[in-house]
Structure 1
Amino acid sequence: MPSLTRLAILDDYQGAVLQRGPWERLAGLEKTVFRDTITDQDALVARLMPFDAILAMRERTPFNRALIERLPNLKLLITTGERNRGIDAAACAERSITFCGTSSFGAPTVDVTWGLILNTMRGLAEQQANLRAGRWQQMLGAGHLGHTVEGKVLGIVGLGKLGSRVARVGAAFGMSVVAWSQNLTDEAAAAAGATRVSKAELFRMADVVSLHLILSDRSRGIVGAAELAAMKPSAVIVNTSRGPLIDQPALLAALHEGRIAGAGLDVFDAEPLPPHHPILSAPRTVLLPHLGYVSEENYRAYFETAVEVIEAFQAGSPIRVIS
């Protein structure tokens, strides 16, 4: 029967993990929670070397081959969620490290996407700040009143599981929905209530652009200066997928020059976001600290399953193994 002695719980920024799972069932396992993120690999190796089990919070700490090969005591690596592109599964297999995932709850990123869309279009955060400061119904910057989404065009880049759900909400708001991705078909778009268009058409037509792609070599920087230049001056872009999908300098230039109406971002090119990152001072932005998967329901699903994964490993019958 495999024996685990020490579990490292990584990147628990909110100190939420141990309150949202039946951890008391693992009474014989020493649990250490880390609430910060270490990017220096030597320092990370020194921290993780004593542990034979690690629970990673999504992609907050990537595990590439070089890191995995420097952790000789590691037997079990768990990611929250059912996949994690920041962990080298092949390297785990070669080192006889069992790599497992957890269940999740619903699609909380859809909620955050629409929160960003509505706040960016209507300027709700700025209006709340005006109200608290005694400025009742003061208009937004440059005299803007804000825009409704009804009657507008929603452009979905990546019409998969999340993109399709975002599209259906858009239709319920009375929006016309267009979509593009590299492999999207007319039939798949129609099934989600959208019309397939070219990439160039989407950025030219959309009043709201929402990104729902997996980050890969072919999607990195898929929104660049040309795409942003094609957008209407009144249009906004929302990204709840991965920061590097958008070319950062191009986005900053478009915002500072007023060439687009705004950006709602839950993801960034550097996370956690450094305190002096230029996006923090960019105008017409609504920024969130990568909350797409952060919800009470999702965390409970993550950590209840994580305990089950550890119990199954200890019993010699691993579950939810990712290959």
Structure 2
Amino acid sequence: MTLRCAVLDDFQSVATTAADWSPLAGRVDVASFPEHFATEDETAEALASFDVVVTLRERVPFPATLLDRLPRLRLLVASGMRNSVIDYAAAARNGVTVCGTASAGTPPVELTWALLLGLARNIVPEATALRTGGPWQSTVGADLHGRRLGLLGLGRIGSRVAAVGLAFGMDVVAWSPNLTAERAGEVGTRLAASKEELLATSDFVSVHLALGDRSRGLIGAPELALMGPDAYLVNTSRAAIVDQDALLAALHAGTIAGAAVDVFDTEPLPADHPMRTAPRLLATPHLGYVSRANYAAYYGDAVEDIEAYLAGSPVRLLGA
């Protein structure tokens, strides 16, 4: 019997061309969905006839209530090797195998610096003014050389962001709950005495923590108040690490110089979401993982996951 595979959130309609799906020919029919399903009911209805689902990042939750409504589902492939919105116990109870894929750390690093530089040098307003007959040079950019970059998190991505900051001649400091001075020194940075000290003394703060109980809401109104009116915040990690209402309030009040964000509490971002019109904000539609190489890794591994499952030897198991 030919299985049916759904690829979710294929916004650019490239999933079936980003990798070679031919090994599944004759065994699996693949259908991609470029539109996002906004509700659980929509998701359940659309996926009711599929045996395999490939889901992109953590945009579509798979709680027990949804998994219970997908009796045909046997394999769920999630891009990356960490997914916080899948109920693994419910998947196991429903006989659903969950697998992950490789995920490159370089694309989010590169986007972090694109956002930080765009924010510091006011690239979007200056480029817009140039193209629309606006003023010639209406802003004064912030310098990077000699300024302090504070990193919340110094893991696989944070350490690479640190290396670029050092290349720019920045003073790089880092903090996370388990970070040691030895680890910070290994990548040429210094351990901040505390989260508060990092926020109060950094000209640029960039978030690179995994979302968990300890990091959720880590940056709220009191923390943003420590940063001051000349400091910038960059978040390419997870929206829930930064209190979104507090960030909006700080941007409107001008208590921080600006922010650049690539992640949001709801994705895709609703048309009337206040983040779309907030001042002092450079925002992108979760582009951190969107690159040719990363898509090739995601979908190439998805094909391998499906092949291995069909062979009776699943690989890259999640939640096991």
Give the TM-score band, short-chain normalised: over 0.9
* 1:61-112, Cα deviation, whole Å (9 max, x unpaired): 1112222222111111101122212212232223221111112334210000
Which residue of 2 is the match for residue 35 of structure 1? Answer: 34
**1:118 partner letter:** L
Which of these residues, 234, 248, 251, is aligned with residue 252 of structure 1? 248
Shift of 1:4: 5.4
Q: Indicate conservation of the 8 Å contact 2:105/2:156, yes or no.
A: no
Q: Secondary structure, in 3 states, of the residue corresponding to 1:77?
A: strand
Give the aligned length.
Answer: 317
Per the alignment, residue 163 of structure 1 pairs with: 158
State which drifts further: 211-220 or 89-98.
89-98
RMSD: 1.4
TM superposition shift of 1:298: 0.7
Which residue does the alignment assign to 1:18? Answer: 16
Shift of residue 281, structure 1, vs aligned partner: 1.1
Q: Does 1:307 align with 2:303?
A: yes
Instruction: Note if contact 1:210-1:237 (Cα within 8 Å) is conserved in structure 2.
Output: yes
- In the other structure, the counterpart of 2:83 is 84
Matched position secondary structure for 2:13: coil
Q: TM-score by structure 1 length? A: 0.94
1:286 matches 2:285: no
* Mapped partners of 2:41, 2:275: distance in 1: 29
Percent sequence identity over aligned pairs? 50
Q: State yes or no: 1:151 paired with 2:150.
A: no
Equivalent residue for 1:119?
A: 118
Aligned match of 2:197 in 193, 198, 201? 201
Distance 1:4 1:223, change over 3 A: farther
More divergent stretch after superposition (110-119 vs 16-25): 16-25
Paired amino acid for 2:107: P
Corresponding position of 1:6: 4
CA contact (8 A) 2:105 2:157 kept: no
Runs of 4+, deviation exceeding 4 Å: none
Higher mean alpha-carbon deviation, 263-272 vs 96-105, is at 96-105
**TM-score scaled to structure 2, two decimals?**
0.95
SS across alignment from 1:291:
coil
SS of structure 2 residue aligned to 1:15: coil
Name stretches of at least 5 consecutive residues in structure 1 with no aligned partner: none
User: Paired residue for 2:51?
Assistant: 52
Instruction: For residue 209 of structure 1, give the secondary structure of its aligned residue in structure 2.
Output: strand
Question: 1:62 matched to which residue of 2?
Answer: 61
Alignment counterpart, residue 265 of structure 1, candidates 261, 264, 269: 261
Secondary structure at the counterpart of residue 6 of structure 1? strand
Three-state SS of the structure 1 residue aligned to 2:165 is helix
In 1, the alpha carbon distance for the partners of 2:97 and 2:203 equals: 46
Residue 47 of structure 1: SS of its match in structure 2? helix
- 1:200-219 deviations in whole A, cap 9, x for unaligned? 10110000000011112221
Residues of 2 paired with 1:4 and 1:65: CA distance? Answer: 26
Distance 1:321 1:26 in 2: 20
Which digits, 9 at most, give the CA deviation of each residue in 1:183-232, with x for residues without a partner?
11111111122211201101100000000111122211111101111112
- Pair 1:275 & 2:275 matched: no
CA distance in 1, matches of 2:203, 2:245: 22
